[in-house]
């Protein structure tokens, strides 16, 4: 794999609007008086793996949430294959929301503790109208792909390890065949072998579906090995 | 012990019309204020009515009103809390100010006002208690929903294409329902007391119908004559049953709470 190219984002922003891909344009966001993102640009082209790094508090996760269509920026906008996206969450149709998937850092917080792993993986399909049997079958297929055995699928989150749960989260993220996968420190809590396995599954998926991956990680080795391009977010204002 | 008291009370209440039918308006002026004996286990009142027999029928009314009123309060509070917690923003602020305003009024006074507006009946008492006791439930449901809404598993559901209704019914409400059930059962003893208070004040059921509140109220006139049993016995029945209910609910809360909390915070 070739060494990634590096660029610094924020403040200066590019003016070109690429057509295909998921992009943030001059995105700014504050929580109260605390500015988290200040005129940030980021473009994810189909098929590429973009590494996003920056010190803690620089807004990496917030940018992932904005690109994940879960948060509306205060200023600037997000484009999806060249078309501006207005609003976030339920203001957007499910057909657009399901094109972008997020893999969160903590699989415990990201899974409903009441559901079995099989239900967790099948839930996005059930939520968008797929029949129970069909959803179960597709979920089982994906579970096998990420390395979850059938006996694990009947368990609830508290009865499996972080690694096993994150595998279920990855299967859930891929269940709608998203064009963009945003990994927000998704492998930070996992052991090396699980990390390698998940990275392998994501890379295979990326190759097959020409999907783009945004990789947020503090692990320089993983970043160098996996990302084709690295973007640096500047430290938060005032630090 | 608490379970035995409650089970016996509920079984006796359910079987009373079959085993010990009571003519509510029958009086026996030849046998007024008789002391407890084998013929009348808890004596008779100023109209010669069997106190034990009427206490049982009074308890039937109290438990029925308590349970239904707690359910009414839970439904109202649950709906208000669910709307405030899921819609948020201005709707949440307006609903919570309404809750604060009602909470600022003495609820017994408000209950008396509501029941005074209606014809004295079981329905009026239930409505009066239901309409004054939904506030804490609304607050519980709202705060639960607000804390759940920001959790990553809800983000994951939204990202996975779940509609608002789906998020509410599949992910939010199932987490809130155990708390709601607990709030309802905690409210039952309180609602029973409230019904008794209304009846005692003469605002509950018509005087000839047996209810614990009516009996305590009637019995206080006999206290000075030495016939203590006519108000003490219904009072003791009420204390024993509501205490048993409270102890069992408390035990249930102790068992339920850590599990729910542990599951949510895993």
Which CATH number is B2-8+51-265 given? 1.10.3720.10
**Tokens standing for residue A95:** 């057909």
Contact B205, B64 (CB under 8 A): no
Which residues on chain B are in Cβ contact (under 8 Å) with A116? none
Taking the complete model, does pTM exceed 0.80, yes or no?
Answer: no
Cβ–Cβ gap B162/A102 under 8 Å = no
At B256, the pLDDT band (50, 70, 90 cuts) reads low
> Which chain B residues have a beta carbon less than 8 Å from that of A106?
152
What values do phi and psi take at A74, rounded to 5?
-70, -40
**3-class DSSP string for chain B:** CHHHHHHHHHHHHHHHHHHCCCCCCCCCHHHCCCCCCCCCCCCECCCCCEHHHHHHHHHHHHHHHHHHHHHHHHHHHHHHHHHHHHHCHHHHHHHHHHHHHHHHCCHHHHHHHHHHHCCCCHHHHHHHHHHHCCHHHHHHHHHHHHHHHCCHHHHHHHHCCCCHHHHHHHHHHHHHHHHHHHHHHHHHHHHHHHHHHHHHCCCCCCCCCCCHHHHHHHHHHHHCCCCCHHHHHHHHHHHHHHHHHHHHHHHHHHHHHHHHHHHHHC
- Look at the block and give the residue holding tokens 């109220």: B217
Q: Per the CB < 8 Å rule, is B161 touching A176?
A: yes
Residue of A4 and B194 predicted with greater confidence: B194
Task: Kindly list the residues from chain B whose CB atom is less than 8 angstroms away from the CB atom of residue A95.
Answer: 161
- CA dihedral of A114, A119, A124, A129, whole degrees rounded to 10: -110
Interface contact flag, A110 B171, Cβ < 8 Å: no
Minimum CA–CA partner of A158 in chain B: B266
- pLDDT computed for residue B213 by the predictor: 81
Do the chains contact at B162 and A158, CB–CB below 8 Å? no
Cβ-defined contact of A110 to B153 (cutoff 8 Å): yes
B175–A114 C-beta distance less than 8 A: yes
Tokens representing B201? 């004040």
Residue B21 tokens read as 């039918």
Q: Using 50, 70 and 90 to split pLDDT, how confident is the model at B224?
A: confident
pLDDT for res B262: 52
pLDDT under 50: residue ranges of chain A = 1-2, 9-17
Cβ(B174)–Cβ(B141) under 8 Å? no
Does A108 contact B at CB distance below 8 Å? yes
Whether residue A67 lies within 8 A of chain B, CB to CB, comes out as: no
Please enumerate in sequence order all residues whose Cβ is within 8 A of that of B91, keeping only pairs 6 or more positions apart, or say none: B83, B84
**What integer is the mean pLDDT of B17-33?**
73
Q: What percent of chain B has pLDDT over 90?
A: 22
- Chain B window 121-160: which residues touch A at a Cβ cutoff of 8 Å? 151-153, 155-160
Which residue from A97, A106, A157 is facing B158, i.e. has the nearest CB?
A: A97
Helix (H) or strand (E) holding A96: helix A94-97
Which conformational region is residue B120 in: left (phi greater than 0), alpha (psi within -120 to 50 degrees), or beta?
Answer: beta
Tell me the per-residue pLDDT of B125-167, one tens digit each, with 9 for 90 and over. Answer: 899 999 999 999 999 999 999 989 889 999 999 999 999 889 9
Test B161 with A98 for CB contact under 8 angstroms: yes
Distance of alpha carbon B243 from its chain centroid, rounded? 13
Question: Residues near A150 by Cβ (< 8 Å), separated by ≥ 6?
Answer: A140, A143
- The pLDDT, as a whole number, for residue A67 is 95
Q: What does the pLDDT look like over B42-55, one tens digit per residue?
A: 778 777 788 887 88
**Are A109 and B152 an interchain contact pair (Cβ–Cβ within 8 Å)?**
yes
pLDDT of A189 = 80
């Amino acid at each position: 794999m070739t060494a990634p190219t590096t660029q610094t984002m924020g403040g200066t922003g590019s003016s070109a609007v690429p057509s295909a891909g998921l992009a943030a344009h001059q995105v700014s966001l504050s929580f109260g008086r605390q500015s988290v993102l200040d005129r940030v640009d980021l473009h994810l082209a189909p098929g590429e793996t973009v590494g996003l790094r920056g010190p803690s508090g620089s807004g990496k996760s917030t940018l992932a949430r904005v690109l994940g269509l879960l948060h509306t920026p205060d200023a600037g906008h997000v484009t999806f294959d060249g078309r501006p996206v207005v609003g976030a969450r339920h203001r957007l149709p499910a057909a657009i929301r399901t094109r972008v998937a997020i893999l969160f850092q903590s699989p415990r917080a990201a899974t409903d503790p009441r559901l079995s792993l099989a239900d967790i993986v099948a839930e996005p399909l059930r939520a968008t109208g797929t029949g129970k049997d069909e959803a179960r079958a597709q979920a089982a297929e994906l579970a096998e792909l990420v390395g979850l055995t059938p006996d694990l699928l009947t368990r609830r989150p508290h009865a499996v390890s972080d690694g096993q749960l994150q595998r279920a989260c990855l299967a859930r993220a891929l269940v709608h065949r998203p064009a963009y996968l945003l990994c927000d420190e998704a492998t930070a809590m996992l052991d090396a072998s699980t990390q390698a396995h998940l990275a392998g599954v994501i890379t295979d998926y990326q190759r097959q579906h020409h999907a783009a991956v945004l990789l947020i990680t503090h692990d320089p080795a993983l970043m160098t090995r996996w990302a084709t391009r690295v973007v640096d977010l500047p430290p938060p204002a005032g630090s | 012990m608490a379970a035995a008291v409650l089970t016996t009370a509920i079984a006796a209440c359910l079987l009373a019309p079959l085993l010990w039918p009571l003519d509510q308006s029958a009086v026996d002026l030849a046998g007024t204020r008789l002391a407890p004996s084998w013929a009348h286990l808890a004596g008779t009142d100023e109209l010669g009515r069997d106190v034990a027999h009427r206490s049982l029928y009074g308890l039937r009314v109290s438990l029925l009103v308590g349970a239904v009123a707690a359910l009414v309060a839970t439904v109202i509070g649950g709906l208000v809390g669910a709307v405030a917690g899921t819609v948020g923003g201005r709707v949440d602020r307006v609903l919570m100010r309404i809750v604060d305003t009602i909470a600022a009024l003495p609820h017994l006074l408000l209950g008396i006002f509501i029941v005074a507006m209606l014809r004295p009946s079981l329905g009026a008492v239930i409505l009066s208690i239901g309409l004054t006791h939904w506030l804490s439930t609304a607050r519980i449901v709202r705060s639960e929903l607000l804390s759940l809404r920001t959790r990553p598993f809800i983000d994951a559901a939204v990202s996975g294409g779940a509609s608002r209704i789906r998020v509410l019914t599949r992910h939010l409400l199932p987490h809130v329902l155990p708390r709601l059930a607990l709030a309802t059962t905690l409210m039952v003893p309180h609602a029973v007391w409230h019904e008794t208070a209304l009846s005692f004040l003469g605002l509950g059921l018509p005087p000839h119908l047996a209810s614990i509140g009516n009996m305590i109220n009637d019995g206080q006139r006999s206290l000075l004559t030495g016939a203590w049993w006519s108000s003490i016995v219904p009072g003791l029945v009420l204390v024993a049953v509501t205490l048993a209910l409270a102890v069992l609910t408390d035990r249930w809360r102790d068992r339920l709470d850590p599990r729910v909390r542990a599951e949510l915070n895993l």
